[in-house]
Amino acid sequence: MLSAKCVSCLVARQYKLIKDFDDEVKKAEYMKEVLETLSNMGEGEASPVATERMDRRFTEYFGVNRSFEDAKKKYNELLLKKEDELSDVVASSDDRLLTALKLARIGNYIDFGALASVEKEKLSELIRKAPEDEIDGATYEKFLRDLACAKKMVYIPDNCGEIVFDKIFIREILRAYPSIELTLLVRGRPVLNDVTEDDAKDVGIDALCPVVPNGNGIAGCYFPALSKEALDLVDSADLIIAKGQGNFETMFGCDRNVYYAFLCKCEWFEIRFGMKHLEGVFVNELDKKFKVKGSAL
């Protein structure tokens, strides 16, 4: 179910989308539909599911498709220019895989859904500090053990720009564990600045592993909406990496061997994990010691 903070945030975002339109009657009717949509959310349906439903109604009401294509291309191109530099940081580190993981997590900053703005200067600062970021040692050791025996792995990315960090991380995984059959599972339709099949191919990640669209336009991995191919991939995976808050919201509680990696970018996640804004999370779904505050997603 949705937390009270999520409901409040979703309503505020929808009003922000329409506040500059002139037709006050239509705006009021739309906001009533927003509230109705939220009141009808089922148990276990997280905010990315609600957002997808409201976005469809927004387009129907106002004839506007929210497009992030320019921002997606901009940040993919920006990070591709930094790819060699980032790869050198990884290659010169004592633990290449750990450094690549830290950078991949930092890349989750590039999120036009959870953040009011994405600042290049802040991104550069986070990248500089990434090698010194903390990763829970026990979780990382379990991750290495799982990699060593995994046959099939699914990597679920989040945002464009961030996908270049993921590319570097995936390259390191396959370098260290070349026998793993790794598949990238991306969004099936454009949503926010999330990665689609075309976006993944634009940064060349398809040269490393197969890229499979998940069959829907929800900004997360919502199992009831997955295509059969996507669900079969997830069900057959020994190991899953899920990037970003949206994937966590839609997957948490799935009882699969999922490693979640993201930055805490909203107040509710900061409360749930007891972390500061933009602190990093790397946790495993099956870790019985892993607890989050509140039962609501």
Contact 87, 168 (CB under 8 A): yes
* Range(s) of the domain holding residue 57: 4-62
d(CA 260, CA 57) in angstroms, rounded, equals: 31
- Give the predicted TM-score (pTM) of the model: 0.94
- Is residue 82 predicted with pLDDT exceeding 70? yes
Q: Does 58 share its domain with 185?
A: no
List strand residue ranges (DSSP E) for the chain, in order: 152-156, 181-186, 211-213, 239-243, 258-263, 280-284
The structure tokens listed for 164 are: 């270049």
Ramachandran bin of 207, using left for φ above 0, alpha for ψ from -120 to 50, beta for the remaining angles: alpha
Q: Which whole number is the average pLDDT over 17-38?
A: 95
Whether residue 186 is contained in a domain is answered as yes
Whether residue 101 is contained in a domain is answered as yes
% of the chain exceeding 70 in pLDDT: 95
Q: What is the pLDDT of residue 266?
A: 87
Q: What is the pLDDT of residue 64?
A: 85
Query: Mean pLDDT for the chain?
Result: 93
- Burial of 109-127, coded b for 16+ CB within 10 Å and e otherwise, reads bbbbbbbeebeeeebeebb
Q: Does 218 share its domain with 101?
A: yes
Whether residue 118 is contained in a domain is answered as yes
Q: Does 58 share its domain with 73?
A: no
239-281 residue pLDDT tens: 999 999 999 999 999 999 999 999 999 888 888 888 899 999 9
39-68 residue pLDDT tens: 999 887 999 999 999 999 999 999 888 889
150-202 residue pLDDT tens: 999 999 999 999 999 999 999 999 999 999 999 999 999 999 999 999 999 99
Confidence grade of residue 296 (pLDDT, cut at 50, 70, 90): very low
Written as one letter, the residue type at 50 is A
Q: What is the pLDDT of residue 116?
A: 58
Q: Does 38 share its domain with 73?
A: no
Task: Provide the 3-class DSSP secondary structure of residue 9.
Answer: helix
- Is residue 295 predicted with pLDDT exceeding 50? no
